[in-house]
Amino acid sequence: MESDKLQVLFVCLGNICRSPLAEGVFRHLVRQDGLEGRFAIDSAGTSSYHEGDPPDSRASAVAQARGIQLSGQARQLTHSDLQRFDYVIVMDAENRQAVERLARQKAPRAEVHLLREFDSDAAGDLDVPDPYYGGPRGFENVHDIVERSCRGLLEQLRRSHSL
Ligand code: 4NP
């Protein structure tokens, strides 16, 4: 991956719901700001449950309703991701524990953050709820959280990297 780009990896459990949504929303915001040449954006899952699968149709539907096309195939997070990416953005505390377990082999180069650290509306709970076993309302809620948080993340990165 090109080293002149800021490399941002979104991580959840299955890499079919929350992290592809965050990847798509963040990519959309970056493009709106004309910064697509400055970022490399990807997503991965801490599990291999859905390896090779496309994004969940419910996640694609909420994104599509807002003009965002989700793409990609689920893949499992690897130790080399933690060295390759500048920022690893996890959806919940369980994901962070999984990243920490993987990082025991070698300290990661990436900065690891919870996505909701950048949510202007987060009050105490910093987990993006897992929508997999819920209905479409859960996905709407996750989309709103992800969009607010991605806006905050982009603002923060623009500030700290003078973009
Ligand atoms: P995600 O959602 O971590 O947001 O992609 C899930 C997808 C699949 C499963 C759990 C959560 N699963 O147990 O298969």
**pLDDT tens digits, residue range 59-75?**
999 999 999 999 999 99
State the pLDDT at residue 135.
87
Protein residue with its CA nearest to atom 13 in ligand 1: 14
What is the CA 37 to chain-centroid distance, rounded?
19
Pocket flag, ligand 1, residue 15 (CB < 6 Å) = yes
Q: Does some domain include residue 49?
A: yes
| Catalytic pick among 27, 58, 130, 148 | 130
Is 1 a member of any domain? Answer: no
Contact 20, 59 (CB under 8 A): yes
Q: What is the distance between the alpha carbons of residues 72 and 52, in angstroms, rounded to a whole number? A: 9
Task: Indicate whether 3 pLDDT > 90.
Answer: no
Mean pLDDT of the chain: 96
- For the stretch 133-151, pLDDT in tens is 988 889 999 999 999 999 9
> Considering the entire predicted model, what is its pTM?
0.97
**Residue with CA closest to ligand 1 atom 3:** 13
Question: How many domains does one find in the chain?
Answer: 1
Q: Is 150 a catalytic residue?
A: no
Reported as a single tens digit per residue, the pLDDT across 80-107 is 999 999 999 999 999 999 999 999 989 9
Coil, strand or helix: which one is 154? helix
Distance CA 73, CA 119 (A): 27
106: domain CATH number is: 3.40.50.2300
Q: Find the DSSP H helices in 103-135.
A: none
Print the domain residue range for 131: 6-160
Do the domain assignments include residue 109?
yes
Angle CA 39–102–47, to nearest 5: 80
> What are the strands of the beta sheet with 6-12, ordered from one edge?
39-45, 6-12, 87-90, 111-114
In a domain, 76, yes or no: yes
Residue 105: the pLDDT is 84
Residue 101: what residue type? R
Tokens found for residue 154: 């982009």
Task: Report the percent of the chain where pLDDT is more than 70.
Answer: 98
Buried b (16+ CB within 10 A) or exposed e, 36-72: eeebbbbbbbbeeebeebebbebbbebbeeeebebeb
Write down the pLDDT at residue 84. Answer: 97
Reported as a single tens digit per residue, the pLDDT across 100-131 is: 999 998 999 999 999 999 999 998 989 999 99
130 lines ligand 1 (CB under 6 A): yes
